[in-house]
């Protein structure tokens, strides 16, 4: 288990290349189980989560060949129907195995993924949607067990208490691709990662339309074929590096990004006072003058992403003024608050709302990462804090950021990774 040491106070300068999207790559890798033909997936980020998914695919019977660290060939000619707890427990997103296994095999047994420190994320909407397609589902000793002879199209709603479910939409879309008839997914998630999966399915011969809107239509086909596909850039990594440039008062160009995918983040940074410039696949950031705190409320896409809430809180902690940050997607997602407070941040909690009073400076402290995005927030705070910040449990950040410490060092940060 590693820890990261950060010597703060160094402005970041230069260019950084964003990796492929983790949240796109995981369901796309799972979707390769829908066909017996080979698939080649490009721009797969080299992360612990993607490595876990590839191990799961191997266990399921697929042949996995790494062409290099970011490109993989998967041939799932024959697969088994059981995904055991020992594999699935390592990664919440492994729930997206349900859709392709039910779509292709009809019957399967998949362990229910474990809980998460940012709060419960039940799979009841996943099950509801798959049952509507004709999958008879039971929960047996911690496993989701499906029995079906045929899947049929249906009209299904994916709306939940805190908005549409992304992985639930993914699961239904994948299973419906091989169902008979037409499936209409209402209150569908419209995130770019859902669109990316839909485009991959279409590359395999599926007939999916409406992706990117709240209504997705899937015309079932008899079979899917192999395909070659490139995963979209990771919008959350892009947003995190923009926040890193902002918090260190540096000047960065973030490359391999789709600007439209992070408009909510860039709009907030511009309103805070940062000067942003844009190209077709890059965004530049620099601080031209005084900045002011802004309020933030998370919501499903195209709203402000919950996966950027912690990073923006770190930025607002050193921005003059008072910011009110409200979490409406995962109301319990505030584990980073106590660690930021240890570094001198002034944050008061009121239910699912944090009131952040900007301070002139933060100071280094030993802190502990509690989840993926919390760890990114602590890295940002460490970049600007006086002294040496020690971050433990950095395996969290390795789940979603490809070699982030190496990328930051190239931008001028002083970071060391050491064993615990």
Query: Can you give the pLDDT of all 420 residues of the chain as single tens digits?
Result: 789 999 999 999 999 999 999 999 999 999 999 999 999 999 999 999 999 999 999 999 999 999 999 999 999 999 999 888 887 777 777 889 999 999 999 989 888 775 444 444 578 899 999 999 999 998 888 888 998 889 999 999 998 877 889 999 999 999 999 999 999 999 999 999 999 999 999 999 999 999 999 999 999 999 999 999 999 999 999 999 999 999 999 999 999 999 999 999 999 999 999 999 999 999 999 988 899 999 999 999 999 999 999 999 999 999 999 999 999 998 889 999 999 999 999 999 999 999 999 999 999 999 998 888 899 999 999 999 999 999 999 888 999 999 999 999 999 999 999 988
Per domain, the residue ranges of the chain are 2-19+233-419, 22-220
**3-class DSSP state of 279:** coil
Give the bridge partners for 2, in sequence order: 419
Of 43, 38, 372, nearest to 196 by C-alpha is: 43
Answer whether 302's CB lies under 8 Å from 264's CB: yes
Q: Please indicate whether residue 116 is annotated as part of the active site.
A: yes
> For the domain bounded by 22-220, which CATH number is listed?
3.65.10.10
pTM, full prediction: 0.96
- φ/ψ (deg, to 5) at 296: -135, 135
Rounded to 5°, angle at Cα 98 from 373 and 23: 25
Catalytic pick from 39, 96, 108, 116? 116
Cβ pair 399, 371 in contact under 8 A:
no
Pick the CATH number of 2-19+233-419 from 3.30.565.10, 2.60.40.10, 3.65.10.10, 3.30.465.10: 3.65.10.10
Q: What are phi and psi of 69, to 5 degrees?
A: -65, -20
Contacts of 3 (CB under 8 A, 6+ apart): 390, 391, 392, 393, 394, 417, 418, 419, 420
How many angstroms separate the CA atoms of 417 and 420, rounded? 9
Do 384 and 247 meet the contact criterion of CB atoms below 8 Å apart?
yes
Which residues have CB under 8 Å from 129's CB, separation 6+?
156, 158, 168, 171, 172, 185
């Amino acid at each position: 288990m590693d820890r990261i040491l950060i010597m703060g106070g160094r402005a970041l300068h230069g260019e950084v290349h964003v990796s492929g999207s983790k949240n796109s790559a995981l369901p796309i890798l799972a979707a390769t189980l829908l066909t017996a033909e080979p698939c080649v997936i490009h721009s797969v980020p080299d992360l612990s989560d993607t490595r876990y998914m590839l191990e799961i695919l191997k266990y399921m019977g697929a042949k996995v060949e790494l062409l290099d660290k970011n490109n993989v060939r998967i041939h799932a000619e024959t697969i088994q129907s059981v995904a055991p707890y020992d594999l699935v427990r390592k990664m919440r997103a492994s729930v997206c195995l349900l859709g392709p296994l039910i779509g292709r095999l009809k019957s399967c047994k998949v362990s229910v993924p474990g809980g998460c420190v940012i709060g419960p994320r039940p799979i009841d909407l996943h099950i509801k949607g798959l049952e509507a397609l004709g999958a008879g589902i039971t929960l047996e000793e911690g496993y989701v067990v499906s029995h079906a002879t045929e899947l049929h199209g249906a009209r299904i709603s994916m709306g939940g208490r805190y908005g549409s479910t992304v992985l639930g939409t993914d699961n239904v879309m994948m299973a419906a691709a091989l169902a008979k008839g037409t499936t209409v997914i209402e209150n569908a998630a419209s995130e770019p990662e859902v669109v990316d999966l839909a485009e991959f399915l279409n590359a395999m011969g599926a007939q999916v339309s409406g992706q990117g809107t709240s209504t997705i239509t899937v015309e079932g086909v008899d079979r899917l074929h192999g395909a070659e596909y490139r995963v979209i850039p990771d919008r959350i990594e892009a947003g995190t590096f923009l926040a890193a440039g902002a918090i260190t008062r540096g000047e960065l160009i973030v490359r391999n990004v789709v600007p439209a995918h992070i408009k909510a983040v860039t709009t907030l940074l511009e309103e805070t006072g940062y000067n942003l410039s844009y190209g077709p696949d890059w965004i530049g950031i620099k601080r031209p003058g005084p900045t002011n705190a802004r309020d933030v409320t998370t919501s499903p896409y195209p709203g402000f992403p919950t996966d950027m809430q912690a990073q923006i809180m770190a930025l607002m902690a050193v921005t003059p003024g008072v910011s009110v940050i409200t979490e409406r997607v995962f109301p319990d997602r505030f584990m980073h608050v106590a660690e930021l407070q240890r570094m001198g941040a002034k944050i008061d909690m009121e239910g699912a709302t944090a009131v952040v009073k900007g301070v002139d400076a933060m100071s280094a402290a030993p802190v502990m990462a509690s989840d993926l995005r919390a760890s990114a927030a602590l890295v940002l705070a460490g970049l600007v804090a006086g002294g040496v910040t020690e971050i433990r449990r950095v395996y969290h950040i390795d789940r979603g950021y490809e070699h982030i410490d190496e990328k930051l060092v190239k931008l001028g940060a002083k970071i060391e990774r050491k064993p615990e």
